[in-house]
Amino acid sequence: MEERHKRILQRNRVNLVRDLNPSDMYHGLLSKGIFTQDMIDEIKSSGIRQDQARQLVRDLETRGSLAFPALIECLHETGQHSLAELLLDGEPQNQPLPQPVHVRTVVRPLPVYSPMDTVKPVQVVIPVYPTQSVKPMPTTPIPCTVARKTPEREFGKPRATGRVRRDSIQSYKMDANPCGHCLIINNVDFEPKSELSKRTGSNIDCEKLERRFKSLNFIVLVKRNLKQKQIKQELSALSKKDHSQYDCCVVIMLSHGTEVCNNRFPGAVHGVDGPNVPVQHITNYLNGQNCLSLQGKPKIFFIQACGGGERDTGFEVSPDEAIGGTGDQTDAMPMSSSSDSLSTQSDEPDAKATLPTPSNILVSYSTFPGYVSWRDTQAGSWYVETLDNMLEENAATDDLVTMLMMVNHEVSEYTANGLYKQMPGSFNFLRKLLYFQALPCQRPIVS
């Protein structure tokens, strides 16, 4: 969409959210080729009418130069003339709108090779515009590897040669500048009453991740040694920020952890005073219901903490596959019950158990639920060191889920004290591929 049209939508966003009836618009925007059915379904799932209107306006800004005139036309077609006139009042008189889009379906056979080298016709839907004539389809058979439709990415990163993805998988918009907020909570020095040890080496993790996510074009905020209540306050403050100009949000928790059973995301992280905050409630602060400006956008959580007190001895492999050292510590605490939850705090309405199942959320754990997570006192945790390396080497070409699979493989090959293993993993509720903005990372100069 042209910048002038984006500015018109942004100036009138309040009126559009308040007055627009999105359900009347879906058929017209679909028939004009502005939205796909998947996009319409996603807008419908965003919530009540106002939420759908907000998401529709936000998505229109990404749909090319014909999106604005198509919006005006649909408003007139559905009787929402006052909104159309409101938007046109901001359009300069010497800048006429492009020709409105009309689409009719023309079905023609396109011969392609089948796996048995026989030619079968394939129906192709061709949009025809008022000033265009329909060109005849080629009669020469075309190999199916050429004729197959390739999905377009929503933003600039080129597709790697030879990589094949399902047509239905899209990519999140990740081209905002800056990309979004990244909150890092680094708990190192625990109070004596907590009976939790100092997390030596965590500052190394924190510095790596702060540097890394700045290089990925995030606004990074680091908070150190927070009590349970302070963790909640920082998450609440993050949820109340206006994220409408950003594309993503990241939360990184570096702390001791424990096993807490919940119906979505297991585990919990401890404040330096001892009490914990369940991971499920950490994610609730930023879900689509509690943080409206992050609706439809990816929310990524990295948890470097133990998932419980069990130590995984793995299974026998050849000696040359074992990696690791003897200076490793764990971030474990014994299992606690789910009674340590936000539901005990009457002033936390965004943590009720009746919230809908989250979407567009990914939680990456340093270890499998119930097991300890290992941290080298000199080099930092296995998980963060590996995650940082993978982001440095692959963020320019690979999506997040693929990189996390690489992290899983790499960490699984480490061994602590010649005996213990660790297996990271993720709870993935993302609906699209996520590619970070890869910028050069400025490493500190060592004299």
Q: Which residues contact 350 (CB under 8 A, 6 or more apart)?
A: 236, 239, 284, 285, 289, 290
* 256 included as an active-site residue: yes
Q: Which of 256, 270, 281, 291 is catalytic?
A: 256
Tokens representing 264 are 């979505």
Burial of residue 318 (number of CB atoms within 10 Å: 0-12, 13-18, 19+): exposed
Q: Which residues contact 73 (CB under 8 A, 6 or more apart)?
A: 28, 32, 100, 101
Q: Which of 179, 206, 248, 306 is catalytic?
A: 306
* 248 included as an active-site residue: no
Per DSSP bridges, beta strands 299-304 and 328-330 are unpaired
CB 181 within 8 A of CB 238: yes
CB 315 within 8 A of CB 413: no
Cα dihedral across residues 232, 236, 237, 238: positive or negative: positive
Phi, psi angles (nearest 5°) of residue 277: -120, 115
Q: Which residues contact 287 (CB under 8 A, 6 or more apart)?
A: 299, 355, 356, 358, 361
Order of strands across the sheet that contains 257-258: 257-258, 268-270, 276-278
DSSP at 292:
G
Mark 97-109 as b/e (b = at least 16 C-beta within 10 Å): eeebbeeeeeeee
Tell me how crowded residue 81 is: count the other CB atoms within 10 A of its CB.
Answer: 10
Rounded Cα–Cα distance for residues 331 and 333 (Å): 7
- Could you give the residue numbers annotated as active site? 256, 306
